[in-house]
Structure 1
Amino acid sequence: MAQAPFTLLLGGTAEASVLARRLRTTRPDIQLLLSLAGRTKAPALPEGVETRIGGFGGVDGLVLFIRERGVTRLLDATHPYAVGMSRNAGEATRLAGIPRATFLRAPWETVDRDRWQEVACLRTARDALPSGARPFLALGSQHIAPFRHRPDLRPVLRQVDAPAEPLPFAATLVTGKPSEDIAEEAALFREHGITHLVCRNSGGARGYAKIAAARKMRMPVILIRRPPEPDGPILRDLDAALSWLISSS
């Protein structure tokens, strides 16, 4: 008897939750497990979808999980900058002998009035800021450490949850999710006297308001480039991802 299809969906993006809901509605016969890394204390979980939170313990742990749970295919819909998890997913599925694809949303593209400086990494983003700048670091707590070496800066950080440990350098902290309203993001920048926006080119609609607000204000943006794309099939939109899941069942 053929093994029943069982999808492991590695999440971390808004699109992963949307895809989980669509697959549950379209093909309720396909067993689905949404896995989240647990970066956010209270993530919005799709109703009716089995969910787990936390890591797997590297490649070996993920291979063991795939085999113990009988996973038949894996879709990597993690953040475009989650390089380590994507690398582990590729190696684990190769060892386990199951198909894998990656959902990768399109990056943001520069338009008229943008003042972007694209850089390779966090350190070059840090070094690109002029002395005395007041940057808005839209980076997440795990990506701010390099900025401790620039005591001349007066940064403002935004994090979804309040940090459990003290910040590694003096900074103003704003907690909460990014607004999808351009005017609200612009008002936040004006309130804190922001001179530069520093962020990654995550793509997607949810985080784009800050980019549009910076454009409206003619604010310089230090934008960290995307890492190289992973090997294997790359799915560029939700319809393609859903089709892959259904056709590979």
Structure 2
Amino acid sequence: MSSTVNESRVALVLGGSGGIGEAVVDRLAKDGYAVAVHYAGNVARAEAIVTRVTNQGAQAIAIGGDVADEAEMTAAFDATAEAFGGVDVVVNTAGIMLLSPIATLDLADLDRLHRINIRGTFVVSQLAANRLRAGGAIINFSTTVTKTSFPSYGAYAASKAAVEAITLILARELRGKDITVNAVAPGPTATPLFLDGKDEATIATISKTAPLERLGEPEDIAETVAFLAGPARWVNGQVIYVNGGLA
């Protein structure tokens, strides 16, 4: 793992060892970012990603931590700044999806969704608001289900609606700091988080719902993140739906 300080832009990707997170790491590394690859538990996967992108000439480190724990996330920001000189972009792809009809949802699952998806986003956004350099970008993750309202997604969609509220308000609160704050809201995307527990027939049906008649790929989402992270300086306080026209 490299820890060389350079003058390039620096990105901290929360959930960087996950499906969309890994694609974001790859895309930003190709754009010349130094990248901190965050993981919650799978250190081996994060380190493998770091090895791969550093072998391709990028700078990267792996950083663990619980996104809902402010001390651990402070340490993650500190480690990123120590390695690369500062932090310019924070991409928070970390999150969980637990599905159940509202009438039968285990309230312990509601608490888990709240802790990781809402508190985690709040903790990371709060730190980013205070730590990013001018010209920076905060990119949170919502979901298209806040619009499509699929059954069984009630608690998950509610947690992501909270993410949208945090994002849009923070964008206004950072007036004058030259930091953009946006959210990306993917539709059905071919990641383990989405595919787990679904049979082939269900996946085939869902893949036809968008006008482009396929599931999204992690790389599709990463393209939008890269746009918001760098050139999209006039896009601020928005939720960008990346779903092939589903909603």
Relative to the length of structure 2, the TM-score reads 0.45
Which structure has the greater CA radius of gyration?
1
Choose between structure 1 and 2: higher helix proportion.
2
